[in-house]
Structure 1
């Protein structure tokens, strides 16, 4: 309990430093607002410095945050966040096997709508259809969102497309270039994958208790840091633009954009999201090869998506087949 209280105090100090990062804060003011002694404040400041934060300490002026370790931290994620639910409850881990596995556990225990599990390093991440998704420490974003949308089971796959649009809009806003969406959820730039999304449900009968969305975004990874078998297939914002990005700011922007689209989806339905997804779709109208779970392969032309977000494949015999889950390759 004492250790937990100390952690909360240290987080509160860091939050104050982030909120006032352009000026010095006196130890007295921090002490009064947080409710602990100035000696305790100095102890926590030293711990933060040991953890890699650069904090200027000037006699009679106080403390000022001058720098932070590479990657994410809970205070930076929270301080300038403008959402109602998404990210208001954060479970932050410096390292974790899988944010998705942890989020599924928390959802089953009753975690609130909008809770986010996020990490600086993911060592055993999962992608769609059993693929792996690793996250290099302090370079990328690996997180899982817990949602309780009150939808029927058949409508929940549409949330994957909502998240894909949010990811594309965030990249466009922060990095300044447009990217495409490969059905249903891969974000690509010139064939290089930047974002992956995995959506899983917790349901009873036809009632959805929770939707857990795992989202991985390659942000600051250097091109030569990707495994050899993925080079040319995977990319990052840094490898494309040559610029490093503030991961906390990027994450907050994504949460804000996603929440706006999510609320639009809940109030107006997928019909409001469909045109936003379609204008970024890169496979529509093209010959594609569908690989379904179990090794089933279908070939044809991607006609588009219907109002439920299901991909429509026109086979060579002109038969139109709905595709609910599959890997897509271009012929």
Structure 2
């Protein structure tokens, strides 16, 4: 099947939203014969699409394959800016690396880089991030906010809020945020966020928000060292999750929160973040480059910095590994 006809046919079924489309209408829309329509339908079935045919009613799409591709992300995407430019590849070393190159070459705000697999996925402090094919979402978003350099860490917290909201909408599962960049379900890590900056001393050129989401892994898919600390949306919800649909929901939610942020500042994001925060009012250990601090998390300040009440007073934590004490 020619790729443009395939794309148009998938779009017809997506817009039909589970309703039947007559063979005649498909024939007219694609500009081909009814026999050709049947062949195109069979090609889609071979690609993993579940399609129902009923005499006199036509065809309807019952289920899409769990694939990520530019077409799958684009069809049904409801954003105005986020994800309107998509770079997709089956496998890359790191979506962050590609995003940096694209940002340097003038890629517009909202450009996303998505891969089905990363061979050099990484988290904070250059730690490796397990990014196998077929099960996760490995994505980077290029932003160009006109904000002071010191405010850019707020975008990590904004991304966490948007992803938590998208997960809840798509799966019905509640998730919690562990400052600064982890999302947990049932106390186990499900999402990591890595925010990187391209800037001069007083000017932000771009902010690249990378996210790794464990979507459809089962316990056996994780390396031994992660089996007790990591989980996936499938393990948490008991059902497979449509990764392309989740990306669409994340992009739409992110766009809404980002618009709020640009229009009204950090305060609305701060309030939402604290409502999802796992660390709030908990005793914890914060390991920083300047030492280890123990105390109770009071919340975050207006810059997004963690406020830790220690025996020596309130300590501002800008970056740290956080360990929460058992409650």
Under a length normalisation based on structure 2, what TM-score does the superposition of the two structures give?
0.86
Q: Which ranges of structure 2 fall in alignment gaps of 5 or more residues?
A: none
* CA distance in structure 1 between the aligned counterparts of 2:292 and 2:23, rounded to whole angstroms: 63
CA–CA distance in structure 2, aligned partners of residues 236 and 298 of structure 1: 31
- Are positions 1:125 and 2:121 aligned together? yes
**Distance of 2:144 and 2:5 partners within structure 1:** 31
* Alpha-carbon distance in structure 2 between the residues aligned to 1:37 and 1:119: 36
CA distance in 2, matches of 1:67, 1:170: 21
What is the aligned counterpart of 2:189 among 171, 193, 201? 193
For residues 37 and 103 of structure 2, the distance between their equivalents in structure 1, rounded to whole angstroms, comes to: 35
Distance 2:258 2:295 in 1: 32
> Are 1:18 and 1:75, in contact at CA under 8 Å, matched by a contact in 2?
no
| 1:250-274 Cα deviation digits (max 9, x unpaired) | 1111111111111101111111111
Per-residue CA deviation, residues 93-144 of structure 1 (Å, 9 max, x unaligned), is 1222211111111111111111111122222211112122223322221111
For the aligned residues, what is the CA RMSD?
2.8
Residue of structure 1 in register with 2:28 after alignment: 29
* 1:305-325 CA distance string (max 9 Å, x none): 10110011223222x221111
Q: TM-score, length-normalised on structure 1?
A: 0.85
The aligned residue for residue 321 of structure 2 is 327
Is the 8 Å Cα contact of residues 125 and 133 (structure 1) preserved in structure 2?
A: yes
Q: 1:309 is matched with which residue?
A: 304
Distance 2:38 2:90 in 1: 24
* Equivalent residues, number: 321
DSSP-derived class of the 2:165 partner: helix
Match of 2:280 in 1: 284
**CA contact 1:71–1:139 (8 Å) conserved in 2:** no
Q: How far, CA to CA, are the matches of 1:11 and 1:292 in structure 2?
A: 50
Distance in 2, Cα, partners of 1:128 & 1:37? 55
Aligned pairs for 1:85-96 within 5 A: 85-96=81-92
- The 8 Å contact of residues 22 and 56 in structure 2, kept in 1 or not, is answered as no
Specify the alignment match of 1:297 in structure 2. 292
Q: Is the 8 A contact 2:49 2:63 kept in 1?
A: yes
SS of 1:166 mapped into structure 2: helix
| C-alpha contact 1:71 1:137 (8 A) present in aligned 2 | no
The gaps in structure 1 that reach 5 residues or longer are: 1-5
Q: Work out the CA distance in 2 between the residues paired with 1:304 and 1:239.
A: 30
How far off its partner does 1:175 sit? 2.1
**140-149 or 51-60, which deviates more:** 51-60
Separation in 2 of the partners of 1:18 and 1:11? 10
Alignment of 1:164 with 2:160, yes or no, is: yes
Q: Equivalents in 1 of 2:286, 2:216: separation in Å?
A: 31
Mapped to 1, the partners of 2:6 and 2:214 lie a distance apart of 30
Match of 2:80 among 77, 81, 84: 84
